[in-house]
Structure 1
Amino acid sequence: MKRKHEYSEKSDPTEERKWIPTWPTPSGITETQANDECVRQIRNSTVGKSCSSVLDDSEVDEHIDACVIDIQVFDDLSQAKLSRDLMIAQCEEVLTKNSTFWEESSGSDGTVGPPRSILGAICPSDCSGNGNCVDGTCTCSEGFGGTDCSTNLNEAPQIYRSGLKGLCDSSEENCADYVSIYGDNFVESDILTCHVTSVEISDSDFTIGDSTETVAATYATYEEVRCPLEVSSRRRRDANGAPRPIGALVSISNDGTLESAQVLAIIYDANCDVCNGTHGFCSRRTDICIVDGECYELDDPACDKGSKIWIIVGAVLGSVFAIVVVVIIVIVVCVKKKGKKKARVGSADRLE
């Protein structure tokens, strides 16, 4: 018989003990604090009071109990907002599926549907406590914005990158129309703006221009806006006619004034160049040919066509050059013959 503290062959002495959450949490949150926050967000919120006529008390209590456990496990009071959103989703589902709650619409057509008095009180995140829910839409308090009023307009939005690692490949995307900027806290409004400073891209770094343009941004999502880069209309080409990469430093403003940090955006053609959006440089590919301003892989038939064209051009130029040389030689020979003839005539005159 093995002693109590001996390990069997199947035991693993290195196995970590399972973590069991306790109160208070590592950050100091007590069970009372967690319960109070869950009750505030779920039962006592505007949407919670509206849904109380739809959900049983026991169902609301289940959401509160689960909320307290989530706060304990994740050590984060903001978990209460997620639990509230789950309660809202259940409330909406019951209202739309259970016709016993439906009522006749205010119109004269006699149609029935979920009660507007309750659905109209359901807003995203209950307006985050920074606004009022009116007919299902948040009316934000001054200084806040967004569909759920969670964005503080007195703080600049955060941006992380542009395009794919700071690059927009014009051979794959319509970069002439816009470049996507990704971040947080973008607000859909008429004063959402992009602030664009052009930069000159070289094969080792980039040089910042002197002027900055402010253009209207297009809101895509809370985490993406689209900026038209006016510099794209002035895209230049090199001596071979191939497009040169262009770049810009871009910042975003929710109110047209308070700007985020800048991120670098580079528009380039991957068929022609290799670019680094992190450090901001581009170099021309060495495994391509350029024909009529377009870049092709060396094994592309267009490269052979280009070579043949240059061979023909070279042959024509060579022929022209040869003709010119022959003409010059003929002229020189004729001039020399005339000179000799004059010399003989002069000698004969002296003899006479």
Structure 2
Amino acid sequence: MKTFYGARYEHHYEGVFTLYENEAWKQEVQIQTKPCRRHARVTCVCGIAIRVGREVYKKEICSDSFFKSGYAQCDGPSLINVKKSGNNQHKIRLPSSTIIKVVTIGNFLNIYMYPSVADKGNVGGLCDQITTSTFIGRDKEVSTYQWSGMPAFSDSWRVNDKLINLFSNDQIHRLEGADGNMFLCKCDETTPTHISCSNSQACSHKEIFAYTLVPVCEKNFIEKRSVGSHYRIPRSSGPASTHISKRQTTNPTWRNGWTEKLATDHCKGLLNKSKTVQICEKSGAAGTQEALNNCVRDIKLIGDDSFAKVAVETVKTSCFHEISYNPIYQRQRTVTLPPGPSTAKPVKNFAWGRSSIRETALPPPTIAIPSFFDEIKQVACPLECSQHGNCNGGVCTCDKGYGSLDCSVSLNTPPTIVYESSANECNSTIGTCNRVHLFGGEFVESVTLVCKIRIEKTVIGTKSLVAERTVSGIYVSDDEVVCPEVVYTRSILPGVSYSYGVSVSNNGVVFSDQIFVPNN
């Protein structure tokens, strides 16, 4: 855990906690943590819930076997600006210009909070204060700093029964509105006690990755119906987290053959292998020592390198934020080359009537080279292409059998359907079926994303196959796909009904388990 002021400490506990709260703006971020593994001594973040007024946006895997994301509650025009890059990166901007970056690695979340000047003097939570290292709890009690953890401080920010748990759809209706706050593009401290802010929906900063805007608030998080078959979705990366997710208990000993030297060499190797990290370090926008220390500490604590890749993502996230907002890193650079040969020309010496040679040194030549921003943009790929592809000009070319923007999804692993929309409805008598919205994961946006529709007829208790067809699926997100409308018409006969089975494939070959759409 790292506070806004820069102090690091270990957060020891499992449950729901307030990570950030700005009461003046009615903004709050809650996180939910659980053991990273069964019987593990570490906890990881499995969910994040973000609130502005009555509006709530969530992303979590705490209560199911796949990530669910979306708006749980809306309240007029959307005030939570959500953008995403691929399946695993979200960037969320609040009305105060506070930025939240959510990176998914494995089955857990890494959360990065960037406060704005509008947060100064107004915030609390596990992220603590901006201008002081004092740890102030929800009860206003001050805790003495300890790197190994401050139980009283952490527990004060636990979301107890007297508070509104943003992860509970039964409680969020009690939230108060935001009084029409608008998005801020820039806040300047005109004096130490006065902040001047301008309203704008379009902040002028450059992005390394291409982010797409998530559709504005519509209640799309809870309108889902379970179809059973809950099982864990395999992901190509192991569980990982940073800043707020790891739990240090006692001082562990090295296990499974690891030593401090082996762990250090392994973590250095990961950092050195990343071209992006090397440019970030060269530019001065981000250092690697802190990430290296955390990487080694995690290997000692866990006994393996499941968290090691987080070191690379931590450096990259910090670096990208800096170079996106700081124009110094966006300026074209010049490099001075070694001096060339001097020029020589004859000079007449009138006093002696003889000529002599005078050498004139030329100024060293310079050439223009791309800015650090442009240099990083050419080599930065999401999650380093998950070690299942090559990065070319900032775009992943996935290895055969892998897909998605960051190559994190195995196309040979069937996706999982866990929920289907409550709006899905079929007519069992005349054989018509609306388009079907399915939820689960992980779905890949590609031409090979297909739905298999199976229509069966039941006549006086005897079932038979009527038709089976494959249609292109419509990708909505990594956890939602739409199977287009299917219409099959039959005469209305007594004792005859139809049932509809749907399955999904990312590669057109390996399909998910079939689910049956409820009949009306």
TM-score range, shorter chain: 0.5 to 0.7
Q: Does 1:261 align with 2:519?
A: no
CA contact (8 A) 1:168 1:266 kept: no
Match of 1:187 among 433, 438, 444: 444
Q: Does 1:44 align with 2:255?
A: no
- 1:179 & 1:73 partners in 2: Cα distance? 42
Alignment of 1:43-62 (within 5 A): 43-55=272-284, 59-62=287-290
CA contact (8 A) 2:254 2:303 kept: no
Corresponding letter in the other structure for 1:224: E
- 1:168 & 1:265 partners in 2: Cα distance? 14
- 2:389 & 2:409 partners in 1: Cα distance? 11
Structure with larger Rg: 1
Q: Does 1:120 align with 2:386?
A: no
- 2:277 & 2:490 partners in 1: Cα distance? 56
CA contact (8 A) 1:196 1:229 kept: no
- 2:497 & 2:293 partners in 1: Cα distance? 57
Corresponding letter in the other structure for 2:510: E
Q: Which has the higher helix share?
A: 1
CA contact (8 A) 2:409 2:444 kept: yes
Q: Which has the higher strand share?
A: 2
- 1:181 & 1:94 partners in 2: Cα distance? 36
Residue number in structure 1 paired with 2:407 = 149
Cα distance 1:36–1:210, how it changes in 2: closer, same or farther (>3 A)? farther
Q: Does 1:132 align with 2:390?
A: yes
Q: Does 1:70 align with 2:326?
A: no
Residue number in structure 1 paired with 2:468 = 212
- 1:223 & 1:189 partners in 2: Cα distance? 14
Cα distance 1:31–1:193, how it changes in 2: closer, same or farther (>3 A)? farther
- 1:180 & 1:264 partners in 2: Cα distance? 10
1:46-77, CA deviations, whole angstroms, 9 ceiling, x for partnerless residues? 222232223478x3010111122233434452
Corresponding letter in the other structure for 1:261: S
Match of 2:416 among 159, 170, 175: 159
- Please report how far the alpha carbon of residue 217 of structure 1 lies from its aligned counterpart in structure 2 after TM superposition: 0.8
Residue number in structure 2 paired with 1:334 = none
CA contact (8 A) 2:457 2:464 kept: yes
- Give me the TM-score of the superposition, normalised by structure 2: 0.38
Residue number in structure 2 paired with 1:98 = 326
Residue number in structure 2 paired with 1:281 = none
Corresponding letter in the other structure for 1:254: N
- 1:55 & 1:208 partners in 2: Cα distance? 68
Residue number in structure 2 paired with 1:22 = 252
Look up the SS of the partner of 1:163 in the other structure: strand
Where do 5+ consecutive residues of structure 1 fail to align? 1-17, 106-111, 270-352
- Please report how far the alpha carbon of residue 118 of structure 1 lies from its aligned counterpart in structure 2 after TM superposition: 1.2
Look up the SS of the partner of 2:273 in the other structure: coil
Corresponding letter in the other structure for 1:120: Q
Look up the SS of the partner of 1:115 in the other structure: helix
CA contact (8 A) 1:197 1:208 kept: no
1:13-51, CA deviations, whole angstroms, 9 ceiling, x for partnerless residues? xxxxx94252334x6655444433322332322222232
Look up the SS of the partner of 2:295 in the other structure: helix
Look up the SS of the partner of 1:157 in the other structure: coil
Residue number in structure 2 paired with 1:336 = none
- 1:254 & 1:121 partners in 2: Cα distance? 27
- 1:198 & 1:32 partners in 2: Cα distance? 61
Residues matched between the structures, number? 230
1:285-319, CA deviations, whole angstroms, 9 ceiling, x for partnerless residues? xxxxxxxxxxxxxxxxxxxxxxxxxxxxxxxxxxx
Cα distance 1:249–1:56, how it changes in 2: closer, same or farther (>3 A)? same
Cα distance 1:38–1:236, how it changes in 2: closer, same or farther (>3 A)? farther
1:167-214, CA deviations, whole angstroms, 9 ceiling, x for partnerless residues? 65549xxx7233214122x32211211112124589xx9956353210
Look up the SS of the partner of 2:283 in the other structure: coil
Residue number in structure 1 paired with 2:112 = none
Corresponding letter in the other structure for 2:469: E
- Please report how far the alpha carbon of residue 219 of structure 1 lies from its aligned counterpart in structure 2 after TM superposition: 1.6
Residue number in structure 2 paired with 1:81 = 309
CA contact (8 A) 1:250 1:265 kept: yes
CA contact (8 A) 1:199 1:206 kept: no
- 1:168 & 1:123 partners in 2: Cα distance? 37
- Please report how far the alpha carbon of residue 147 of structure 1 lies from its aligned counterpart in structure 2 after TM superposition: 0.7
- 2:262 & 2:464 partners in 1: Cα distance? 52
CA contact (8 A) 2:503 2:515 kept: no
- 1:68 & 1:214 partners in 2: Cα distance? 49
1:257-305, CA deviations, whole angstroms, 9 ceiling, x for partnerless residues? x223323131444xxxxxxxxxxxxxxxxxxxxxxxxxxxxxxxxxxxx
CA contact (8 A) 2:438 2:480 kept: yes
